[in-house]
């Protein structure tokens, strides 16, 4: 390829594709900022409804521009905005949408990952405990969105061509995530994982009650080879 043509293509890509992706990220950041406000308001409402009963309180914690937490009963939901823009593999269902077929750039999305952890894992500093990704929220430049997940997290929010992110949608997504977490209870760790314990490990367990635990969340994303144990 002629060097001048290569140079021209680089300039064109920077002007068009890179500029577009930057606009996508800015939109995702704006939406995430609003989502933080929605989450805080929801947590305050639920806390007031529960009258902050000991052990069943609901709280919101901001962790900066790209992360916030909702803590409720024994669960913690962590919402994390990635500081990147994502595209999708050719086999992804998003490419079957006429909305995307009309303009391929619409597939570029900001991504919010939602993780579930046990609250005591943080309260007792149990760094070996397991958390699970329960959904991923994708938002494009035009504020259209869809959610990957299972059960209500997947099939309620999959109209990418029509659904537009707003406060009502954010509130519904957050509540769906909370309900999803409450459907699953804590399972004991496998007996074999605790059959042999070193002295130092026993001291650590005594100091922190540091038994590796996690909740079995009954779903499997398409990229997982095995469902979480």
CB-CB contact of 42 with 77 (8 Å) = no
Maximum Cα–Cα distance across the chain: 71
Helix 167-182 vs helix 19-50: crossing angle, to nearest 10: 60
**224 falls within a domain:** no
**90 falls within a domain:** yes
- Residue at token pair 């989450």: 39
Q: What is the pLDDT of residue 36?
A: 98
**108 falls within a domain:** yes
**221 falls within a domain:** no
The number of C-alpha atoms within 13 Å of 59 and in the hemisphere containing its C-beta is 14
**227 falls within a domain:** no
Q: What is the DSSP string of 93-108?
A: GGGG-HHHHH-GGGG-
pLDDT digits (tens, 9 = 90+) for 70-107: 999 889 999 999 999 999 999 999 999 999 999 999 99
**177 falls within a domain:** yes
The number of C-alpha atoms within 13 Å of 202 and in the hemisphere containing its C-beta is 5
To the nearest whole number, what is the mean pLDDT of the chain? Answer: 82
pLDDT digits (tens, 9 = 90+) for 118-175: 887 877 777 777 788 999 999 999 999 999 986 667 777 889 999 999 999 999 999 9
pTM score, two decimals? 0.78
Q: Which two tokens stand for residue 113?
A: 């990952």
> How far is 29 from 107, CA to CA, in rounded Å?
17
Backbone angles phi, psi at 103, to 5 degrees: -155, 105
Q: Is pLDDT above 80 for 65?
A: yes
pLDDT digits (tens, 9 = 90+) for 33-53: 999 999 999 999 998 887 766
Q: Is pLDDT above 80 for 190?
A: no
> How far is 95 from 73, CA to CA, in rounded Å?
39
Domain with 132, as residue range(s), is 3-215
**154 falls within a domain:** yes
Q: Specify the number of domains making up the chain.
A: 1
The 3-state DSSP composition of the chain as helix, strand, coil percent (nearest 5) reads 45, 25, 35
Q: What angle do CA 130, 40, 213 make, to 5 degrees?
A: 10
């Amino acid at each position: 390829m002629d060097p001048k043509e290569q140079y021209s293509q680089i300039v064109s890509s920077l002007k068009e594709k890179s500029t577009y992706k930057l606009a996508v990220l800015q939109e995702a950041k704006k939406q995430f900022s609003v989502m933080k406000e929605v989450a805080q308001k929801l947590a305050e409402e639920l806390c007031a409804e529960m009258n902050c009963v000991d052990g069943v309180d609901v709280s919101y914690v901001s962790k900066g521009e790209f992360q916030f937490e909702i803590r409720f009963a024994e669960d913690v939901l962590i919402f994390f905005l990635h500081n990147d823009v994502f595209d999708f593999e050719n086999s992804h269902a998003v490419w079957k949408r006429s909305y995307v077929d009309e303009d391929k750039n619409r597939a570029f999305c900001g991504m919010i990952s939602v993780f579930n952890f046990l609250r005591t894992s943080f309260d007792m500093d149990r760094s070996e405990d397991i958390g699970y990704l329960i959904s991923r929220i994708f938002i494009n430049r035009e504020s259209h969105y869809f959610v990957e997940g299972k059960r209500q997290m997947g099939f309620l929010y999959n109209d990418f061509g029509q659904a537009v992110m707003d406060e009502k949608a954010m509130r519904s997504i957050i509540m769906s995530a909370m309900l999803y977490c409450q459907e699953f209870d804590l399972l004991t760790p496998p007996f074999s994982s605790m059959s042999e314990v070193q002295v130092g490990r026993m001291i650590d367990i005594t100091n922190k009650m540091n038994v590796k635990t996690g909740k079995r969340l009954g779903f499997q994303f398409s990229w997982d080879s095995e469902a979480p144990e």
